[in-house]
């Protein structure tokens, strides 16, 4: 079966200008690109035909030759009747173009598919046999609050197109936040015609931890202290991300007040030596089930507060 007319392949008239040619090709490239039609040989063939047609019709010199001589212009040994210099105007059957001959081809694909081709085309391109990086894939992984803070190693299981499962150890960096991803190079979809594998983007989801709230690299921890400690001052044992520490409580501390523990927060992913802060949020424990003697003492305290103008109210 003979090759299709290039104008017919792109669905344009022979009078189409440069913009119409490019617009027609963009539409077909999006529709038949192998990444959007995995395993579809017919779509791959249409994509190659459209690319070949665009390679010729988008180049003024090649388009002129094609309009005059058709496919014969690109056969080995072709010489135009108007060539009086003895120069042989020939093009290889594979339509191989060096980087300098590609015109805006790289720009067309960058517009269409972004970084799908690894930042555009390289120094060569063959319309009938091109190498293309595989598509990136995405998966989800669930980790604990502490694993996100401290970093961890996780084992995930990958299944290839043949149903074969393999295990892979993944490093989750300390300080990673909800919704961020870890990129696994070369673990995505396979490339076309020997192209590099795509990457796997492992999206992280973090299980909350009771009593802890993260805000950027700072962490907020709620701590209950006795009523007497809040009034008289003292010390309280409080949890941090790296273990318990003793924290000084100033006399007259109010419920809801915050105590800052510098550099006790979450490490930065960019520089683990830099950490956020931990904020202790104070909640005061109100005494319950008082004995008669305890109640009597508190009532005396209430009367003393009123005498000295400090206020006070005991139920």
Contacts with 61 (C-beta within 8 Å, 6 or more apart), sequence order: none
Residue of 251, 277, 133, 268 lying closest to 192 (CA atoms):
133
Residue 58 per-residue DSSP state:
T
Cα–Cα dist 183/185, whole Å = 6
Contacts with 156 (C-beta within 8 Å, 6 or more apart), sequence order: 139, 141, 167, 168, 170, 202
Cα–Cα dist 3/52, whole Å = 11
Could you tell me if 187 and 137 are in contact, meaning their C-beta atoms sit under 8 angstroms apart? yes
Summarised one tens digit per residue, pLDDT across range 303-313 is 887 776 655 54
Cα–Cα dist 138/47, whole Å = 26
Q: Which two tokens stand for residue 135?
A: 């598509």
Average pLDDT over residues 91-103: 35
pLDDT: is 162 or 37 the higher one? 37
Which sign does the torsion angle of CA 40, 35, 54, 124 carry? Answer: negative
Summarised one tens digit per residue, pLDDT across range 249-299 is 999 999 999 999 999 999 998 888 899 999 999 999 887 888 888 888 888
pLDDT: is 172 or 287 the higher one? 172
pLDDT: is 169 or 84 the higher one? 169
Residue of 161, 164, 223 lying closest to 198 (CA atoms):
161
Residue of 116, 68, 61 lying closest to 91 (CA atoms):
61
Contacts with 101 (C-beta within 8 Å, 6 or more apart), sequence order: 59
pLDDT exceeding 90 applies to what percent of the chain?
A: 39
Residue of 68, 154, 54 lying closest to 46 (CA atoms):
54
Q: What is the pLDDT of residue 261?
A: 95
- Determine the angle formed by the axes of helices 105-113 and 41-57, rounding to 10 degrees: 140
Q: What is the pLDDT of residue 71?
A: 80
Summarised one tens digit per residue, pLDDT across range 199-237 is 889 999 999 998 899 999 999 999 999 988 998 999 999
Residue 261 per-residue DSSP state:
E
Q: What's the Rg (C-alpha) of the chain?
A: 36
Kindly tell me if the per-residue pLDDT of 94 is higher than 80.
no
């Amino acid at each position: 079966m003979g090759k299709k007319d290039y104008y017919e392949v792109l669905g344009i008239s022979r009078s189409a200008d440069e913009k119409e040619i490019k617009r027609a090709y963009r539409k077909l490239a999006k529709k038949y690109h192998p990444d959007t039609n995995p395993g579809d040989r017919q779509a791959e063939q249409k994509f190659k035909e459209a690319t070949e047609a665009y390679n010729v019709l988008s180049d003024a010199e090649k388009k002129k030759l094609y309009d005059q001589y058709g496919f014969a212009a690109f056969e080995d040994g072709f010489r135009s009747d108007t060539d009086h210099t003895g120069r042989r105007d020939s093009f290889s059957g594979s339509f191989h173009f060096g980087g300098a001959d590609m015109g805006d081809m790289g720009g067309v694909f960058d517009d269409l598919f972004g970084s799908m081709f690894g930042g555009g085309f390289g120094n060569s391109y063959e319309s009938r046999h091109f190498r293309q990086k595989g598509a990136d894939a995405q998966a989800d992984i669930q980790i604990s609050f502490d694993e996100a803070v401290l970093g961890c190693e996780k084992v995930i299981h990958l299944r290839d197109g043949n149903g074969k499962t393999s295990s892979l150890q993944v490093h989750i960096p300390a300080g990673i936040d909800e919704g961020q991803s870890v990129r696994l190079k070369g673990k995505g979809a396979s490339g076309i015609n020997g192209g590099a594998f795509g990457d796997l983007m492992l999206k992280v989801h973090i299980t909350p931890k009771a009593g802890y709230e993260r805000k950027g690299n700072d962490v907020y921890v709620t701590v209950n202290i006795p009523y007497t400690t809040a009034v008289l001052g003292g010390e309280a044992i409080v949890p941090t991300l790296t273990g318990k520490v003793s924290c000084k409580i100033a006399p007259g501390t109010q419920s809801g007040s915050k105590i800052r523990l510098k550099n006790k927060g979450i490490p930065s992913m960019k520089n683990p030596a830099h950490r956020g802060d931990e904020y202790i949020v104070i909640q005061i424990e109100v005494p319950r089930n008082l004995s008669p003697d305890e109640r009597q003492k508190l009532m005396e305290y209430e009367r003393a507060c009123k005498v000295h103008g400090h206020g006070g109210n005991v139920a």
